[in-house]
A and B are shown apart, each in its own frame.
Chain A
Amino acid sequence: DTGVSQNPRHKITKRGQNVTFRCDPISEHNRLYWYRQTLGQGPEFLTYFQNEAQLEKSRLLSDRFSAERPKGSFSTLEIQRTEQGDSAMYLCASSSRDLHQETQYFGPGTRLLVL
């Protein structure tokens, strides 16, 4: 399978705990995006990387959130001191730019539930 993979697929944690999610993009893609999606809503942009450089962060990404892509391949998203409002699906996407446009391929997501 050469698609985008995310681990874990599901995470249940208690409020105040730290959690870390991993995203493995399609191997030749140099752009990697993180989105957050709450139930019944569209995904919201969080941050994105070009290779190992983090180029943009949404204001949704509070100080408790940090994302890394140390070698320009896989990426991690960490949430510190989780809150119940952090419960959501966290989606990762990677992209390559073809002749005319950029196509993002999404992973299956990590569903987080904060109790």
Chain B
Amino acid sequence: TQLLEQSPQFLSIQEGENLTVYCNSSSVFSSLQWYRQEPGEGPVLLVTVVTGGEVKKLKRLTFQFGDARKDSSLHITAAQPGDTGLYLCAGVNAGGTSYGKLTFGQGTILTVHP
């Protein structure tokens, strides 16, 4: 069974602080994705990382994929209240009938206080 562990599960910070969310896998996926989900809505894709060691930036968000392609991190610089939400990592399967199937971590609930 492929598992993704996210940490921390909850994060409550003040506006302007930096934070990092971690995602660790028990196995290798073809790629790893990060999503953000707001209450009452479906997850929205932020980024996909494919290559070991890859770093991608999206404004104040920096995503890293570990060299072994089993772990990833999301770093937010100078967090704002609008960053509040549930952040999910998901491993993407590439093989056989499971192609495209996503395995999600349990999520990190981020609250940024003004």
**Residue positions of A touching B, CB distance < 8 A:** 4, 31, 33, 35, 40-45, 48, 55-56, 91, 93, 95, 97, 100-109, 111
Count class of interface residues, chain B: 20 to 34
Given A43-B102, A97-B100, 14 new contacts (CB under 8 A): A33-B100, A40-B107, A42-B106, A43-B104, A45-B103, A55-B97, A91-B42, A91-B43, A101-B48, A102-B92, A102-B100, A104-B100, A106-B44, A109-B42
Question: CB < 8 Å: which of B41, B44, B88, B101 contacts A42?
Answer: B88
Instruction: Say yes or no: A100-B50 contact (C-beta < 8 A), given A33-B101, A48-B100.
Output: yes
Instruction: Say yes or no: A43-B43 contact (C-beta < 8 A), given A100-B50, A103-B48.
Output: yes
CB pair A42–B105 under 8 Å, yes or no, is yes
CB pair A45–B101 under 8 Å, yes or no, is yes
Q: Which residue of B lies closest to A41 (CB)?
A: B106
Q: Please name all residues of chain A whose beta carbon is closer than 8 Å to the beta carbon of B97 when the two chains form the complex.
A: 55-56
Instruction: Say yes or no: A4-B100 contact (C-beta < 8 A), given A42-B105, A42-B107, A101-B50.
Output: no
Interface string of B74-114 (1 = CB under 8 A from A): 00000000000000101010000111111111110100000
Q: Please name all residues of chain A whose beta carbon is closer than 8 Å to the beta carbon of B45 when the two chains form the complex.
A: 103-105
CB pair A42–B104 under 8 Å, yes or no, is yes
Q: How far is the CA of A41 from the CA of B43 in the complex (A)?
A: 12
Instruction: Say yes or no: A101-B92 contact (C-beta < 8 A), given A40-B109, A42-B107, A109-B41.
Output: yes
